[in-house]
A and B are shown apart, each in its own frame.
Chain A
Amino acid sequence: MATDTQLDLWEVFIQGKSGGHHMHAGSVHASDKEMALKNARDLYTRRSEGGSIWVVPSSAIISSAPDDAAMLFDPANDKIYRHPTFYVIPEGAKQI
């Protein structure tokens, strides 16, 4: 794999509209947090995608190991009662 020589990597999260979740949009290179924020603004909000941006150093993110996937996630497979499908959504409610 080629060595990445283009400054540090940051993960970008964009909030589409006020009150919504910040969703992962992608990543940017930057040497500091102000540059990361500006680069994220220039790359990911060119078409009015967002109203708020978070940037996080990619190195601060810990991910689960693929080898642990069975241990971590399979036990949920036979517990359908955890899905909120047994409720009747009241008429007129857009989301619960």
Chain B
Amino acid sequence: MGSKEQLFKYLLRLGDNALIQGHRLSEWCSRGPILEEDIALSNLALDNIGRAQAFLQYASEVEGNGHTADDLAYRRSERQYLNFLITELPTGNFAYTITKQLFIAQYDVILFEALCKSTDTTIAGIAAKAIKEARYHASHASDWCLRLGMGTALSHDLLQNEINDIWMFTGEMFEMTELDKDLVQFGISPDLTILQNIWLDKVGSVLIKSGIQLPGQGYQQTGSQQGIHTEHLGHILSEMQYLQRAYPDATW
């Protein structure tokens, strides 16, 4: 077993990734390109927010000082969030959202496959439920990559641009921090360097089929695991936390 603090921090990473990604996806609600896609994106958002609830609920139990999952979601400050930078990037255009979805959902699929075998049975249980959703998210994003990549010259160029722009935020998902090195020892979390190779294979094969060129490794952004975020997170939190800040403990 890792220490309580380590497990808590890891659960915050898992929960925050789902929470912020879910919030970004929810921004598509009523703004989708067509009704069907609007509902599809809202469904993806709900899956993520449900997953965030499960991880943050467990995090609050591990922390054990009376905080609830809602406290963790809505009452921390920016530096206390441990979501990867890629999840907080703006919604952008449809190709930008699909690119983020492809990178994140493919990551989720291989991460949750590995976490199903975690020595922490609660994490393994949540992962077993989340893996089904993640597979659907990855399939949805892959289908759209193919359509945009092999669609018109404009849709192809938009997708290629977004892939190039967002690539520098993918390396962070596979960084082996001190926390990761410790948790791997206890079999709680997987070795992310192994996951990175699987991820590159899967994402690469979708992009090749879509007629998109894979960016080189290049410079990679980092910082989220020390709580250092892009300017975008503060704006998300000001909106997301508004109700809890204005009306603490509001019920209805």
| In the bound complex, CA of A31 to CA of B150 (Å) | 13
CB of A47 to closest CB in B, whole Å: 12
In contact, B147 and A46 (Cβ under 8 angstroms): no
**Chain B residue at minimal CB-CB distance from A32:** B147
CB of A76 to closest CB in B, whole Å: 38
| In the bound complex, CA of A20 to CA of B39 (Å) | 27
Interface centre among B34, B35, B143 (most CB of A within 10 A): B34
Q: Mark A1-41, 1 if CB is under 8 A from B, else 0.
A: 00000110000000000000000000011111011001100
Please indicate the chain A residues that have their CB under 8 angstroms from the CB of B249 in the complex. none
Please indicate the chain B residues that have their CB under 8 angstroms from the CB of A29 in the complex. 34-36
In contact, B36 and A39 (Cβ under 8 angstroms): yes
Please indicate the chain A residues that have their CB under 8 angstroms from the CB of B143 in the complex. 34-35, 38
Q: Does A42 contact B (CB under 8 A)?
A: yes
Q: Does B80 contact A (CB under 8 A)?
A: no
In contact, B43 and A38 (Cβ under 8 angstroms): no
What total of chain B residues lie within 8 Å of the partner, measured CB to CB? Answer: 11
Q: Does A43 contact B (CB under 8 A)?
A: yes
CB of B207 to closest CB in A, whole Å: 18
Q: Does B40 contact A (CB under 8 A)?
A: yes
Please indicate the chain A residues that have their CB under 8 angstroms from the CB of B34 in the complex. 6-7, 29
**Chain B residue at minimal CB-CB distance from A10:** B36
Q: Does B140 contact A (CB under 8 A)?
A: yes
In contact, B36 and A30 (Cβ under 8 angstroms): yes
Which residues on A are within 8 Å of B, measured CB to CB?
A: 6-7, 28-32, 34-35, 38-39, 42-43, 46
